Amino acid sequence: MKNIYLLIIITVFLNSCSNKKEPSLEEVLATNDVELLKSRKSEIDAKLEELTLDLNQLNNKLSVLNKDRNTPLITTIRTSEQKFNHFIELQGNVKTKQNVLVYPEMPGILNKVYVKEGQKVKKDQILATIDDGGLSQQLLLLKSNEQLAKTTFERQKRLWDQKIGSEIQYLQAKTSYDSQKNATKQLKKQLGKFTIRAPFSGIIDDVFKEKGTVVAPGPGAELFRIINLSNMYIETDVPESYISSIKKNKMVEVNFPILGRSYDSSIRQVGNFINPSNRTFRIEVGIPNLDGEIKPNLTAKLRLNDYSNSNAILIPQSIISENAKGQQFIYVVKDNKEKNQVYAERLVIETGKTNGDFIEVTKNLDANVEVILEGARSVNNGQVVKVIKKIN
């Protein structure tokens, strides 16, 4: 029995010794015991050296198992020939050549006004008449005199044909008739100016004078404004730098922001004069106006096609870098069949015009070439890369 108690006491003692906690670092530091501090430092150095060896072994093993961990991951895009249109954007105003003020040619009282604002009229339609001041009565007298001179001339001609009478009598009769005829014709023409007619088909936009108004030729005497909205065009100024590329019949995209409408049109006229004050030349772009919504002086935005290439090579502008010499370059993918690897190769290029986020490459890049897209800024010339995605 005593042996059993002794065994229990020994077991409890050993357990209490094994469960004794090692003092913490704070407790060791608080002792100020140099020997104890050195002992703890030696223990930590040994553990650190052991952990370092373990870490190196893990890194070496990972290097063997994951050979591509330092290889840049990239995506590529394959170049191809495609149609490329470049546009310049300008602003212009709508105009019409048939927007005129109608003036009187003769003085007098406005007898009648036959039209009102907004009315459609046809060419040569009578718009108004002016009192002729008795010229119509003079015309009747001239016509009578002309008829008499004609009769006299015809009789004298018959006699002259029969060799009766003198030549001077015949010539006098002919001259008198011609004179009366010209006088009548001249007065008819003058009387015609008292009738105001439409110079072309269009719409009466303004009526400036009322019936009974005394009118006369000159500034401020306009009677009507007449506009034809069927033959509209847009006029704008183009910088002289585009003079070699902006030609007649070039494609134009027309947009009217106020109306929310867009049209496809073309250049119908290119000016031959460069304005010295702003170094621009003028162009005209025809525009349809079937429903009459487009008005003179309306603002329009124009996109003019100044350059086209049906076999252009386009790449994103974001992948282009520039070296110290100012040269532009990109990276393309090359195959190393011996090592079964692909690597990046720097390619110096020359570029042209842009279209949104893309730019045309004009030199050193052909079709069917894999160009590095994502990752282009993080690779170096000759560096092995791994293609994770190809965009055709």
Condensed to tens digits (0 to 9), the pLDDT of residues 361-383 reads: 999 999 999 999 998 888 999 88
Q: Which residues of 127-161 are buried (b: 16+ CB within 10 A; e: fewer)?
A: bbbbbbeebeebbeebbebbeebeebbeebeeebe
Which residue do the tokens 């000159």 mark? 218
Which DSSP helix (H) or strand (E) runs through 89? strand 81-96
pLDDT at 62: 67
pLDDT: is 308 or 7 the higher one?
A: 308
pLDDT at 11: 45
> Edge-to-edge strand order for the sheet containing 224-227?
99-102, 224-227, 202-207, 120-121
pLDDT: is 128 or 161 the higher one?
A: 128
Residues 6+ apart with CB under 8 A from 159: 165, 169, 170
Q: Which residues of 4-17 are buried (b: 16+ CB within 10 A; e: fewer)?
A: eeeeeeeeeeeeee
**pLDDT tens track for 143-170:** 888 888 888 888 888 887 787 778 788 8
For residue 87, pLDDT over 50 is answered with yes
Confidence class for position 10, pLDDT limits 50, 70, 90: very low
pLDDT at 13: 43
**pLDDT tens track for 312-357:** 999 999 999 999 999 999 999 998 877 788 899 999 999 999 988 9
pLDDT at 66: 58
Residues 6+ apart with CB under 8 A from 202: 98, 120, 121, 226, 227, 228, 229
Please choose, from the candidates 309, 328, 316, 337, the residue with its C-alpha nearest in 3D space to the C-alpha of residue 77.
316
Confidence class for position 5, pLDDT limits 50, 70, 90: very low
Confidence class for position 69, pLDDT limits 50, 70, 90: low
pLDDT at 190: 82
% of the chain at pLDDT higher than 70: 93
CB 347 within 8 A of CB 364: yes
CA 252, 257, 263, 269 torsion: positive or negative?
negative
Supply the mean pLDDT for the chain.
Answer: 85
Please choose, from the candidates 238, 230, 211, 234, the residue with its C-alpha nearest in 3D space to the C-alpha of residue 286.
234
| Predicted TM-score (pTM) of this structure | 0.55
**pLDDT tens track for 262-274:** 989 999 999 999 9
Confidence class for position 126, pLDDT limits 50, 70, 90: very high
For residue 237, pLDDT over 70 is answered with yes
pLDDT at 63: 64
pLDDT at 4: 42
Distance between CA 95 and CA 250 in Å, rounded?
20
Strands 358-363 and 370-372: unpaired
Distance between CA 313 and CA 84 in Å, rounded?
9
Confidence class for position 65, pLDDT limits 50, 70, 90: low
pLDDT at 149: 83
For residue 14, pLDDT over 90 is answered with no
**pLDDT tens track for 287-321:** 888 777 888 899 999 999 888 899 999 999 999 99
pLDDT: is 6 or 275 the higher one?
A: 275
